[in-house]
Structures are given as structure tokens and as C-alpha cells.
Amino acid sequence: MAAVMIGVCSQAYAWDQVPDENGLYDGLYDRPTYFPEWEQPNEWPNAMYMLCEVRMESAQGERVESYEVAVYDSDNNLRHCGRSLVKDNHYCVLTIRGTEGDTFHFEVLYGDDFANPKIAKISGVTVDFETSKSIGSPTEPYVLILPNTPTGIENLTPTGDGRTYDILGRPVSNPTNGLYIIDGRKYIIH
């Protein structure tokens, strides 16, 4: 498995911005990258490899199918980015270059709107660099869990008290511009 990952991911080249005659980007992917200017760094001769998938944080743990994983070092420098592959069960292969002692954290970019992706920082998950280490496999991929995030305020019940609250539910006596809940209804104050 490691040999396949090296061959696919260690190349540094300009990313396709338009699909080829088969509708693929860079000969492999069903969409372009969110990081078109990024190139695989070559200042670190050693690499480790990850095969991962992304799932939603829910009872069902739904798999996310179109996503990109960004790998950052402890100084928040982008060290690698990788897209999910439809033909590989929507897994993402990462070739992370570094030195022993480096620690990495992740962001996942996903969604159907390629121009405006959802971005989730995967909190509490870090990986320590180990040369030639492989994490995850086709039978047991490393799973990154996207946190459930509220998409709006719903199911409000009027309280009848006329009080004003911010979107975190804290009482507000003098609201300024923003979104507020007044007597159980949502209002935008300009």
C-alpha cells in the first residue's frame, strides 16, 4: 500500500483548473483542488502516509464523499492537502513530509458548493511524524470526524416576556446590530 501512495501523492506539479476529456482533474479527481497554488514541499526528505476517510459526527456517522483534507504543522504551515477519490471508496491519501518530532493537525473542506466550501477544524486530533509510518488501510482507514455544527436557530417558542437574547441565549439589555431573539422570535437589528 505504501508504494502506491508514494507514486500517487509525492509528485509536485501544477493542479488542473479544468477537467480533462474524461471529466477528471489531475487525471484522478472528480473536482479541482481548493489549494491550486500548493506544491508538495521538498525541504523534508522523509514522509509518512495516511489513508483516511471523513465522517459526520452523528449516530449514523454518514460518510462525506467530496472533501479535501489540509494538514498543518504546529506553526500552521500547510504541509499537505489531499482530495477524496471516488474510485477509491472516497478515501483520501496523504503524503506528509516532515522530521521526527513534528506534530500535525487537520482541516476538512467539504460541501457541494466548490466556490464556498464548508471548513471544519478537526479539534483534538493530532498526528506525530514518524518516517515511513503508514496510518490507516483500505479495510481500516483513519477516520476524521466532522463536528456537528448548528446551521441556524430553529424551533423557538415565544416566551411572552418580551426579553431579548443573543444567539447564545444570553439576556441582552441594549442590543446593537446583529441577530437577536426577542420574545421567542428571530430578529436582525440594523
Task: Based on the fold, state whether residues 51 and 139 are members of the same structural domain.
Answer: yes
Rounded to an integer, what distance in angstroms lies between the CA atom of residue 92 and that of residue 85?
6
- Would you say residue 173 has pLDDT above 60? yes
Q: Residue 188 is part of which domain span?
A: 150-190
SS3 8: helix
Task: Based on the fold, state whether residues 154 and 142 are members of the same structural domain.
Answer: no
As a whole number, the mean pLDDT across the chain is 77
Mean pLDDT of 16-22: 76
pLDDT in tens, 90-130: 898 899 999 999 999 999 988 877 667 888 888 889 999 99
DSSP 16: P
Mean pLDDT of 27-34: 73
Task: Based on the fold, state whether residues 122 and 178 are members of the same structural domain.
Answer: no
Task: State the chain's maximal CA–CA distance in angstroms.
Answer: 66
Task: Based on the fold, state whether residues 96 and 184 are members of the same structural domain.
Answer: no
Predicted confidence band of residue 151 (pLDDT cuts 50, 70, 90) = very low
The CATH code of the domain that includes 48 is 2.60.40.10
What's the total number of domains in the chain?
Answer: 2
Residue 177's pLDDT is 67
Contact predicate 94/9, CB 8 Å: yes
Task: Based on the fold, state whether residues 189 and 116 are members of the same structural domain.
Answer: no
Nearest residue to 184 via CA among 166, 160, 168: 160
| Amino acid in the structure at residue 1 | M
Task: Based on the fold, state whether residues 73 and 102 are members of the same structural domain.
Answer: yes
Task: Based on the fold, state whether residues 176 and 127 are members of the same structural domain.
Answer: no
Task: Based on the fold, state whether residues 104 and 187 are members of the same structural domain.
Answer: no
Task: Based on the fold, state whether residues 100 and 190 are members of the same structural domain.
Answer: no
pLDDT in tens, 35-87: 777 777 788 889 999 999 998 887 677 888 888 999 999 998 888 888 887 77
Task: Based on the fold, state whether residues 87 and 31 are members of the same structural domain.
Answer: yes
SS3 6: helix
Task: Based on the fold, state whether residues 101 and 80 are members of the same structural domain.
Answer: yes
Task: Based on the fold, state whether residues 123 and 166 are members of the same structural domain.
Answer: no
Predicted confidence band of residue 13 (pLDDT cuts 50, 70, 90) = very low
Rounded to an integer, what distance in angstroms lies between the CA atom of residue 150 and that of residue 128?
31
- Would you say residue 6 has pLDDT above 60? no
Residue 160's pLDDT is 65
